[in-house]
Amino acid sequence: MNRMTRTRIVARPLARLGTTALALALWASPPAVGQAPPSVQMIADEGEGVRYWPRWRGPSGQGLATGGGYPDTWSPTENVLWKVAVPGRGNSSPIVWGDRIFVTTGYDSGQRLSLLAFNRVDGRLLWQTFAPAGRTGFRTHQKNGHASATPATDGERVYVSFGPRGLFAFDMEGKVAWQRDLGPMDNYHGAAGSPLLYKNRIILYQDQASGSFIAAFDTRTGQQVWRTARNASVGWGTPIAVRVGDHDEIIVNGQGSVRAYDPERGTERWRCNGTTFEVIPTPVVGYGMVFCASGRAGPTLAIRPGGSGDVTATHLAWSTPRGSPFVPSPVLYGEHLYTINDMASIVTNFDAVTGKLLWQGRLGVANREGFSASPVAVDGKVYFTNDDGETFVLRAGPKFELLHVNRIGERTLASPALVSGRWYIRTEGHLLAIGR
């Protein structure tokens, strides 16, 4: 089945807004006479994909789980259905399709890189396929490594970026369908951005000391469809696909600016300045805006997509002066935008439409770069996991309410996957299923 048939739009709830307020939420200033504000929606998975967790941040692309029955308490033993060892070293987050969980890992300082498939029922390792030998020797950060990019799947193939080793497609039994050399990479913390599935294309970008680019590849053949140079020198993010009125845009939250590209040709459509030097968080979308968190406690930007050229003066709806996360992405749940300042362990809740600060609270002990996993939201709660494996469970809403803290007892940098009432969590050495 063609990937195009698996695409749907996820809209954020707008029930509380009247006609006038809705226009303000979408535009921040009234549109020209006779001009209706464009709808802005994240392009998410549908069909079989919506039942699973097929990519970075799940089928919504925003860390939102559907359904119910997810336990909100666990420990090294409580609600743990199974726990299995994951060989090698990697920080990629698990993805789920059907009865399989996929993660990547690396051995021997990146000399060997592989994709692993586990059985979702009992955690058995079904297969492990090693990528063919290739380019190695690039530098990494202690929190990065050589297998940090989260795979993506359409149920027919699993697409994996191994940075300078290249882009790969594996079939569901682990056979390499194709591989594509992306060229040498020179980023002082290594490569980490996850690939985005958009229709029948894989899109990823790599910012580095020289030769930075964003590119699209055909999912069937691996052939490059387009490649556009970027002028950013560092970054480790993942692009998103957004529908803006009658057209789609690929948006990159990167160094110095947020940029949108035409998914068919790769040409730049617009850019909004204001981000910092090092940017990692993936944007989220709602209320007619794209919310982009800058790196190292910099600003958070709420941008109305669309337009042409430099839209900083016309499409920036609101921004914060500081306090954004360095690594974790924000989560938009209902009317609220939640961010975690991982330089100080402080969670912040904003009114998504206006940018008004609603509350802040500290999660555990203040620890510089203490959070890596991105938050998820389900069943009226928002979950933040720090690097020590502590998950802080907050009630979603206009007041700070920490319900409890779950301690899994292992270092945890990957983000969880949530499917059918179960959590799938990757720690430094294990993969766990948590459920009732």
For the domain that residue 348 is a member of, what is the CATH number?
2.130.10.10
Whole-angstrom CA distances from 142 to 148, 362, 369, 372, 418 are 11, 25, 12, 12, 27
What pLDDT digit, counting tens, does each position of 43-69 carry? Answer: 999 889 999 999 999 999 999 998 999
User: What is the spatial distance between Cα 117 and Cα 99, in angstroms, rounded to a whole number?
Assistant: 10
What pLDDT digit, counting tens, does each position of 16-45 carry? Answer: 333 223 333 333 333 433 455 689 999 999
Length of the chain: 436
Instruction: Find the farthest-apart pair of alpha carbons in the chain and give their distance in angstroms, rounded.
Output: 63
The sheet carrying 100-107 orders its strands as 95-97, 100-107, 112-119, 125-130
User: Residue 103, exposed/middle/buried by CB under 10 A (0-12, 13-18, 19+)?
Assistant: buried
Find the domain containing 215 and state its range: 3-434
What pLDDT digit, counting tens, does each position of 81-131 carry? Answer: 999 999 999 999 999 999 999 999 999 887 899 999 999 999 999 999 999
Place of tokens 């051995």: 107
What pLDDT digit, counting tens, does each position of 207-262 carry? Answer: 988 899 999 999 999 999 999 999 998 888 999 999 999 999 999 999 999 999 99
User: Residue 95: phi, psi to the nearest 5?
Assistant: -120, 160
User: What is the spatial distance between Cα 118 and Cα 87, in angstroms, rounded to a whole number?
Assistant: 12
Rg (CA), the chain: 20
End-to-end CA distance of the chain: 34
Global confidence as pTM: 0.90
Number of structural domains found in the chain: 1
